[in-house]
Each structure stands twice: as C-alpha cells, then as structure tokens.
Structure 1
Amino acid sequence: MARIVVVGSINMDLVTTVGRRPAAGETVSGDGFALVPGGKGSNQAIAARRAGAEVEFVGAVGSDVFADALRKVLREDGVGVARLREVDGPCGIATIVVDAGGENTIIVVAGANGRMTELSTADLETVAGADVLLCQLEIPVPTVLAAARHARANGTVVLLNPSPVRDLPDDVWAEVDIAVVNEGEAARLESALRDVPHVVTTLGGAGASYRGPGGLALAHPGFPVRVVDTTGAGDTFTGALAAHWHEGPAAALAWACAAGALATTKLGASASVPAAAEVEAVLAAAGAR
C-alpha cells in the first residue's frame, strides 16, 4: 500500500446542471443544484484512497457552515485529517455549471485554501514520511514549494498537477519528479516540462500518454463510457496514478485511465470517484488486468 500525503485544497462545490451553458449576459433555466464537497486536493486524496493507498491530507477549512461537511467527506473515505487545520473565515468554494454534454465551467474562490501560507513541523514530518507527495495549485505556490523541497530532501517522490495552470518559478520545477497535465496545460508549460523526469498528459476520452527518462514513451487508450459530468475526472486520474505509481508507469497509466473514465459517469467531483473494485472490473474486462 502506497503512503501518500496530499498538500492541497478542499472546497465546497456549488453544482448547477443546465441544458446549455449561458452566453455572456444571458440567463438560462437550470435543471438541478447540489452541494458536493470538492477541491483538487480533496478530490485527489479521495481518489488515491479509493485506489488503495494510505492517504494523509494537509490543508485548511474555514469557520463557516461548510467546514464540518468537508471534514466528514475525508474521514468517511479513510483519509487522515490530523493535519487539516481550521482558519477564521469562509471555506474555499467552487461554482460549477455542467451542461447536458457533461462539459463544465468552474469559478473557484480560494477562501481558507488561500491562507495555507506555511507548513508546521508536524506537516513537514508527514510529508517526509510519505512515498509520494501530491500537490496542485489551488493553494499558495510558496507552500507548494516548501512541501516539495522537504519531500525531495527526504526521498519522497513529488507529483505535481500544475492546475489551475500558471507560470511557475524554476525552483518549483526543479523539485518535481512527476507532472500530470492535460493537453492545454502541456502546451502552455512545454518548456518547463522538458526537465521534469516523468510527464503524464491526459487526453480526455482518448486516454493518456507518458514520457519518461531516456525517451521512454507510453500511451493508454481511453475507456468508452457514457459521460454525465467531467468535473473531477482529472483529479480522479491523478489520485489513482499516484496510488499505483509504485507498480510502474504502464500499470499506473492503465489504472488512472480507467478510474478517470468512470469518474465522468456520475455527477459531482468527490462523489464520482470510483471504488477500486469498479476500476479492477473495467481493467479486467479490457484485458488490462
């Protein structure tokens, strides 16, 4: 069982479903609404846990009405929350609009995530004790850098999902062992990714590709599914990849592609993350297990 620590964000997602997303200045009628715990860090932590890893979460919730629900969703999945702190003010939130084709538009407000400006000694000890550190960019970049430096100094593999995409200082990239990006992020970050030893690029319904040391290249096709909502599918992919990285890039890629595809078949982010048995069944049916 891989030991993973996620240093990242946790949000309450406000999800509205519509026939089509509105144009600028337009009002449309919605079909439904749900409050779904999310945030890239939390989603990836739950995905890694359901994929079979032992997971600890380092992050922050606010002091508002969403805090207890956000803690609960992690605990219920067996994610360790001893390093989940509470700060004054609102939790992070994301407003998500999902159309009939399963495509989404997302607005994120950092809230408590934006106040993750330092890591305690206990936080850093948790990072040092893990096999993989998993980070994203919904918390301050200096915090990501501090976690990555400590991980690298203690032999913990650093996996970065650089999303929401932005230009990062060279000293961040210098600490990254594995980067997981989508096609748009890969194009935006092309020059920065050249020196990252392992780069995994998600390709939507077409699966994913891998580029490793010495020119090693792998690809795995997508799994055909009926898409309901793509929210969180990339996070599910990333968490599953981290959980199975110790099996090698090929096995991790297959598992991640299957998990990410299944995540699009249900509404919501954390709620759509498949159980390990579901992924195993898909892989077995495809002859990948």
Structure 2
Amino acid sequence: MAVADLMVLVFNVILYEIKEAYFPHSFLNYTPICSLVIALIYISLDWSVWLTVTFTFDRFVIICCQSLRFKYCTMKTALKVITAVFMLSILENIPIYFIFEHREVINDVPWSCYVKSSFYTSPTWIAYLWFETILTPFTPFALIFLLNALTIKHIIMANRVRSKLRGNNREACQTDQETENRRKSIILLVAISSNFIFLWMVNLICFICVQFTDTQFLETDYNDSFTIAEKSGYMLRCLSTCTNTFIYGVSQRHFREELKNVIIRPFLSIANIFKRWNTKGTSSKNVNE
C-alpha cells in the first residue's frame, strides 16, 4: 500500500502537477510522454485503491471468518493478491494512453495532452469511461462500506455476548481490554470508510457532471467552477491515497514499534560508537599506566 501511494505521489504530484506549474516546457510535456504519465497516474491510483479494498477484506477475514483466517491471511496469499491487483490495474488502464492528442505542434513536435473530442461521443470510449468509473471508485465504495459494516456488526454482536458472559459487573466491563480493542477497531473502520468516501466524492460528482452536462475533463479555464471542482477532486483523490495507508499503519502496534525503531536506531548507533571510543580510550589509558 505504501509503495502504491508513493507511486501516486511521484506520477501525479511530481511528474504531472509540479511539472505543469513549474516546468511547462520540459520534455515531460511531449504528447507521448505526457500520455504515458497520465496512464501511470491511473494505474497507481487503481493499485492504491484496490490494495485498500484487499486490506479491508483481510481485516474482515481476520475478525469475522476464523475458519478461513489461517488459510487466507498468509504471506503467500498476500503476494499473489498484490501481484494480481497490480497486473489488473495495468491492463485496465492501457486504453488511457490512447485517449489523448496533442494540444499544439511546435517545430513538428506534438506538445501537451488534450482529451480527444471523440472520447465524449464514441460509444466505445463512453462505455470504457463508465466501466472505469464503476470499477474505481464505485465498486471500492460499495465493498469498503459493506465489509466494514459487516465487521462492525460482528464486533458489536461479539461485545454483547462477551458482556453477558461477564455479567453486570460494571468495573469488569470498564477494564475489559478485549472490548476496548474492539471499540478501537470500530473507530478505525469508520474512519477508513468515511475518509475514502469523502475524499473521492468530489471526483465522483465531476464524473456525473461530465456525463449529463456539456462540461469536459482537463479544461484550463480556472475561472470556471467545474475546472476548480475537478482540480480540487484530483487533489483530494491524491490525499486519499496517503491518509488510508497512514491510518492503517499508525493503528498497527507492530508498525508503530518498527517506526519507533527506525527513529531511535541512528541515535543508538551513534551512542554505541561513542561508547566504543570511550572504551578504547579507557583501555589505552590503562595500558599506558
């Protein structure tokens, strides 16, 4: 998930947005390269989103499907799922490369990327746009919401059973660590669902506007409200790829421990070096004496 999100930042933020703002005449603005970068943006976005879905399913299996847990939640299965999602993301977004044409030609060199007018009229391209949007983000919306809802329902039912088994002892209920962990899991799942849906909502509304109005993608009129909304949607979509990994990562105890080790280890290494130097200095002094 972290690698996929990093790819989104590299392709979308650095190679596209920063390039457009600060290096508009670089080689990255050649039409073939520009088209390739945009295709890579969609590949990395789909990979990031669907890894979030698979991670959500993984948590669902761990909490709700004890019989499947030890068969599915393995390193081997994770490797297969990650590879499959990556390959399908590439195959799904190959057509993206072919929907753009040059905006202008300078010295026989095609510059910039402009969505072909046939993209909005051709039945094939319209069908592909619907397919792309249904696959991402409609389907992830539904799956993340459904899986998290089922997981939360399972946790609530388990808590009720646990409370009945423990009786009406309020003090025991308040100090029940298992119930507290489940409560934190519910908060985490609600945060993930809300974060994903909220940050993708603007992008989804822009898609609906394109389908039912005369507006078009990638317009450059920044006085136009749709262009502002579209750019804001892209920004929030990039933010979504970062926050999901952050929320999932910080919520994991092992991740926090590893992060703490990464931060502390350089200081421990420096302290050990000074300690060895001091030990050598003391030994040399004792030998001289």
- Same fold at TM > 0.5: no
TM-score w.r.t. length of structure 2: 0.27
**Larger helix proportion of the pair:** 2
**Larger strand proportion of the pair:** 1
